[in-house]
Amino acid sequence: MAPHISQCTLFSYISLFHFIFITLAQSDNYIIHMNLSAMPKAFSSHHTWYLSTLSSALENSQLATTDNHNSPISSKLIYTYTHAMNGFSANLSPKEYESLKNSLGYISSIPDLPLKLDTTHSPQFLGLNPNKGAWHDSNFGQDVIIGLVDTGVWPESESFKDNGITNIPSKWKGQCENSIHFNSSLCNQKLIGAKFFNKGILAKYPNITLGLNSTRDTIGHGTHTSSTAAGSRVEQASFFGYAIGTASGIASNSRIAMYKALWEGGVQSSDVIAAIDA
């Protein structure tokens, strides 16, 4: 009986150590907030500084192995942020993460958390009046550019026709990018921007299936919210012949820039921040 107990005990210890090793070695995505004013003058840009900071953290964590050398430091870096915040997101092991916290210019960090979809309310709920107030005075949002971070857009929808929409303002610096089943020519005076972001979710879940690697909306949520916010007036709209009327976004004369960061497989904070940063 004693040898049997010893073998069971030994097996339990081996299993426990294996579990601890796997847990400690498991990497995750983190969003790192940095103090840009602390960047040494030797660096030509914040991007090179972040790469150097990341490289030092990996070396100091004493986890540099042959496998690490096969993967460049840049593969650890997911995004660098300039406008939404000063910092970057990266895929780190627990020891690498702890080492990074001692870096020059480090302020704070959070895990790259998953997010959930939300939606909008109606003009009636907002108390908008077509004859007076902000809705009327702004001419229904004329020349306002509404940037949406969502599931993408279906550009062929009647809600995104640009009839009666003026030329794109010179202040617009964004772009419409080509992607799968989404040619940049589908953009117009109404839909003036289209980009997608999925580096964060791919770093978090390398084997995930995202559907189309494209700004095209395969879920419908982004098309719904963007048309609710800024859709053009569509006469004789109905639901299979019921409730016939005019469908219109709240700011029907405004323009839309769609930044797709929400996917069928989930949403990561790092992708959302990158979309806002764009």
pLDDT in tens, 85-113: 999 999 999 999 999 999 999 999 999 99
Q: Which domain holds residue 266?
A: 123-277
**Boundary of a domain, candidates 88, 111, 134:** 111
Greater pLDDT, 7 or 40: 40
Mean pLDDT throughout 236-258?
87
pTM above 0.85? no
**Boundary of a domain, candidates 76, 111, 146:** 111
Looking at the domain assignment, is residue 229 inside a domain? Answer: yes
Per-residue confidence at 122, pLDDT binned at 50, 70, 90? Answer: low
Mean pLDDT throughout 174-199?
97
- The reply to whether 63 and 152 lie within a common domain is no
Most confident region among 2-6, 138-142, 143-147, 254-258 by mean pLDDT = 254-258
- The reply to whether 132 and 162 lie within a common domain is yes
- The reply to whether 106 and 145 lie within a common domain is no
Q: What is the pLDDT of residue 71?
A: 56
Looking at the domain assignment, is residue 254 inside a domain? Answer: yes
- Mean pLDDT, the chain, integer: 86
Looking at the domain assignment, is residue 117 inside a domain? Answer: no
- The reply to whether 70 and 170 lie within a common domain is no
Distance of alpha carbon 27 from alpha carbon 67, whole angstroms: 14
Per-residue confidence at 25, pLDDT binned at 50, 70, 90? Answer: low
Mean pLDDT throughout 35-64?
91
- Is the pLDDT score of 168 beyond 60? yes
- Is the pLDDT score of 148 beyond 50? yes
Number of domains observed in the structure of the chain: 2
Looking at the domain assignment, is residue 53 inside a domain? Answer: yes
Q: What is the pLDDT of residue 118?
A: 53
Greater pLDDT, 25 or 12: 25
Looking at the domain assignment, is residue 118 inside a domain? Answer: no
Looking at the domain assignment, is residue 127 inside a domain? Answer: yes
- The reply to whether 129 and 85 lie within a common domain is no
**Boundary of a domain, candidates 79, 111, 143:** 111
- Is the pLDDT score of 246 beyond 50? yes
**Residue 139, Cβ neighbours under 10 Å: how many?**
13
Q: What is the pLDDT of residue 139?
A: 81
Q: What is the pLDDT of residue 86?
A: 97
- Is the pLDDT score of 237 beyond 90? no
CATH number at residue 240: 3.40.50.200
- The reply to whether 265 and 161 lie within a common domain is yes
Greater pLDDT, 1 or 146: 146
- The reply to whether 255 and 164 lie within a common domain is yes
Looking at the domain assignment, is residue 225 inside a domain? Answer: yes
Distance of alpha carbon 218 from alpha carbon 272, whole angstroms: 18
- The reply to whether 261 and 169 lie within a common domain is yes
- The reply to whether 135 and 258 lie within a common domain is yes
- The reply to whether 182 and 273 lie within a common domain is yes
- The reply to whether 106 and 136 lie within a common domain is no
- The reply to whether 132 and 262 lie within a common domain is yes
Looking at the domain assignment, is residue 116 inside a domain? Answer: no
- Is the pLDDT score of 126 beyond 50? yes
Q: What is the pLDDT of residue 123?
A: 62
